[in-house]
Amino acid sequence: MIRFKIRLALILISASVLLLFGYISSPGQELEAPPEPLPAPPTNVVISDDPNDDGHTTIVSWQLSRDDGAGLNNVMAYEIFRSTSPEGEFLQVGVMGKGLDSYIDRGEKEKTRNGEPNPRYIGAGIDYYYKMRAKSTTGTYSEFSELVVGQAKNNWYHTGKTNIMIAVLIFSGLVIYFITAAKRGKELYVRPIAGIDAVDESIGRATEMGRPILFVLGTGTAADLATIAGYTILARVAKMTADYQTKVLVPVNEPVMLAVAQETVKSAYMEAGRPDMYDEQNIFYVTAMQFPFVAAVCGLMIREQTATNFYMGIFHAESLILAETGAITGAIQISGTDQLAQLPFFIAATDYTLIGEELYAASGYLSKEALLLGPVKAQDYAKVILLTLLGLAVITWSFGWGFFKSLISTIS
Amino acid sequence: MTTVELLWNGLAAFLTLCIFSFLYKDNPFYKFAEQLVAGVALGYWTMLLYHTTFTDKVLIPIFQQGKLHYILPTIMGIMMWTRFSKKLAYLSRIAIAFYIGVGTGVALPLYMYNYVFRQLQATVVPLQFSWLGLNSLLMVSFVTCTLFYFFFSKEHKGTFGGLSKVGIYTLMAGFGASFGLTVMGRVALLVQRIIFLREYFIALFGS
């Protein structure tokens, strides 16, 4: 007990002495901290053009501050500033972490914003002034680096996509070759496609039931490849409906698509020798907004009791709503799209589905025209070339040889 | 919830129920909601196009900024209107052909990049004697079989038919996974709507 008291007394005395010492050593005013050493600025700042862009990007590169990873070792980041004149207001355009020695300055493409000059705009052929500074871990800054100037250039050729250009040229050559061959009378075989074989049967059923046919060209635009493939199938369907005297309804969601669809159906009716049966009112514009369009089409299916529904083109979240409503009405449904996310719904809810490329091939298969069969054949040959390349690239890459892999590598 | 909010949310709840009523069968409530939403969308879209296209792409560039080259596409746009004249209707075809031609021309290299080269690039994986190597081998094999399925110049019979069948099974497995994922997303949307209705009725009648 005595020992404990002695210890307690000693602790109390020590604490008092320390407190007293602290009081004496700080006579009512704070001591000035020694000035913190500032980091050295980055050096050799260089502005260069991004080699594969449309003139709105520059690349800023620099030599690291001598206090980045060495020296004082207190650099935390680099701040990059840009201006259109050396005396002008400098805008901070980017921050890069320590150890990094370049920054891609992606400028905006609009010169003005809300009627005011856009400070984030970068245009080709304009001088841009840059300066940089290093920021320390305690929030202090180095001096600015030297002012440097550079320009962005409008590059006409993307060096990272040469292989794509060659592929497009080879593919175009194959298309021209096969179209020419077909025109000269060479027979080009295309295997049967289940969904397309069902077209005739489904139109016949609608005729027997005395009900109309619904053709939806999707919610894409008139110029989408899948929509263009849809026009060809629409032409075939319209020609048959003209022959069978069955009504075909085509609701569309885009004004240009309306014009193309009307022209397609009109031409098909003329080709069938029944221009008198063509009724422009059956191909009509609903609205461009996705779900209001779908609500209207669903209502149409129920009220018109369509016997056959075609969905050919680009579809989004509405695919299942359309297909399920069509299934409720008991219609035969044939769908086709190249939208991967929507294909599962069409497969689940419609009777026949043209999967991706089948939609494009269908147009050639249906028409048997040289102009449409040629590309289908060219695609097949292109696939053989690509599969060979893929095989070679995988095998050689497994042994560490990257030549074939580099042939199919691109830079975005 | 304020009285104004209660009224607007009441309208939203009513329209939601009108649309849901289609699950039973077509009825006047659904017809009302359908025609209201289609009409409002049409009017809204027309005004949106007027402001974002006609004002921003025609009036301002030509008359305020003096960009006279904008006249060319404007003439193309006007040509679309000639469809209403029997004599001049052929002019609209030029504009349509230009629009679709440019769309297709721009799409071709983009498709080649996104759907061919990037996919191929991702498929090139080294084959190794490990689980990872087996995974790579399966991936390359399934991609090859799937491409066989999309080969249209040859009938799918014999060995080629067998391989293309593996390809279609691969596709179906992928579609199944995608189906499940999207359905979960749709269920989340349904839950969100039911929560909205529940909150509205709680605000209206109390818990």
Cα separation, A215 vs A236, in Å, equals 12
**pLDDT band per the 50, 70, 90 thresholds, residue A4:** low
Residues A193 and A285 in one domain: yes
Q: Could you say which of A150, A169, A197 is where a domain stops?
A: A150
Written in H, E and C, the secondary structure of chain A is CHHHHHHHHHHHHHHHHHHHHHHHHCCCCCCCCCCCCCCCCCEEEEEEECCCCECCEEEEEEECCCCCCCCCCCEEEEEEEEECCCCCCCEEEEEEECCCCEEEEECECCCEECCEECCCECCECCCEEEEEEEEECCCCECCCCCCEEECECECCCCHHHHHHHHHHHHHHHHHHHHHHHHHCCCCCCCCCCHHHHHHHHHHHHHHHHCCCEEEEEECCCCCCHHHHHHHHHHHHHHHHHHHHCCCEEEEECCHHHHHHHHHHHHHHHHHCCCHHHCCHHHEEECCCCHHHHHHHHHHHHHHHCCCEEEEEEECCCCHHHHHHHHHHHCCEEEEEECCCCCHHHHHHHCCEEEECHHHHHHHHHHHCCHHHHHHHHHHHHHHHHHHHHHHHHHHHHHCCCCHHHHHCCCCC
Chain B residues within an 8 Å CB radius of A380: 151-153
Nearest-10 crossing angle of helices B3-20, B158-205 = 140
Query: For A8-17, A269-278, B125-134, B189-198, which range has the lowest pLDDT when averaged over its residues?
Result: A8-17
Chain B residues within an 8 Å CB radius of A361: 152
Cα separation, A118 vs B194, in Å, equals 44
Cβ-nearest to B107 among A164, A225, A340: A225
Q: Could you say which of A150, A174, A206 is where a domain stops?
A: A150
Average pLDDT over residues A250-279: 93
Structural domain spans, chain B: 1-66, 130-207
Residues A299 and A208 in one domain: yes
Residues A234 and A307 in one domain: yes
Cβ-nearest to B92 among A171, A259, A292: A259
Which residues does chain B have with pLDDT short of 70? 207
Share of chain A above pLDDT 70, in %: 91
Structure-model confidence comparison of residues B6 and A81, the more confident one: A81
Cα separation, A146 vs A131, in Å, equals 6
Residues A328 and A250 in one domain: yes
When scoring B85, B115, B153 by the number of chain A Cβ atoms within 10 A, the one with the most, hence best to mutate, is B153
| Minimum CA–CA partner of B161 in chain A | A191
CB contact under 8 A, B112 and A299: no
Pair B139, B131: CB distance under 8 Å: no
Residues A130 and A199 in one domain: no
Domain span at residue A235 reads 188-368
Does the structure show a pLDDT above 80 at A294? yes
Residues A107 and A234 in one domain: no
Q: Is residue A156 situated within a structural domain?
A: no
CB contact under 8 A, A387 and B123: no
Chain B residues within an 8 Å CB radius of A288: 41, 45, 49
Average pLDDT over residues A237-246: 93
For chain A, give the mean pLDDT. 89
When scoring B152, B153, B164, B183 by the number of chain A Cβ atoms within 10 A, the one with the most, hence best to mutate, is B152
Residue from A47, A50, A45 nearest A153 by CA: A50
The per-residue pLDDT for B107 is 87
The enclosing domain of A59 has a CATH number of 2.60.40.10
Does the structure show a pLDDT above 90 at A11? no
Residues A143 and A192 in one domain: no
State CA A336 to chain mean position distance.
21
Does the structure show a pLDDT above 70 at A30? no
Q: Is residue A216 situated within a structural domain?
A: yes
**pLDDT band per the 50, 70, 90 thresholds, residue A208:** very high
The per-residue pLDDT for A16 is 59
B128 inside 8 A of chain A by CB: yes
Does the structure show a pLDDT above 90 at A128? yes
Does the structure show a pLDDT above 80 at A61? yes
Chain A residues within an 8 Å CB radius of B93: 263
- Give the number of domains in chain A: 2
**pLDDT band per the 50, 70, 90 thresholds, residue A100:** very high
Chain B residues within an 8 Å CB radius of A345: 179, 182
Cβ-nearest to A394 among B125, B150, B182: B125
Residues A145 and A196 in one domain: no
The per-residue pLDDT for A28 is 47
Q: Is residue A397 situated within a structural domain?
A: no
Q: Is residue A398 situated within a structural domain?
A: no
Q: Is residue A29 situated within a structural domain?
A: no
Distance (Å) from the alpha carbon of B183 to chain A's nearest alpha carbon: 10
B111 inside 8 A of chain A by CB: yes
CB contact under 8 A, A164 and B112: yes
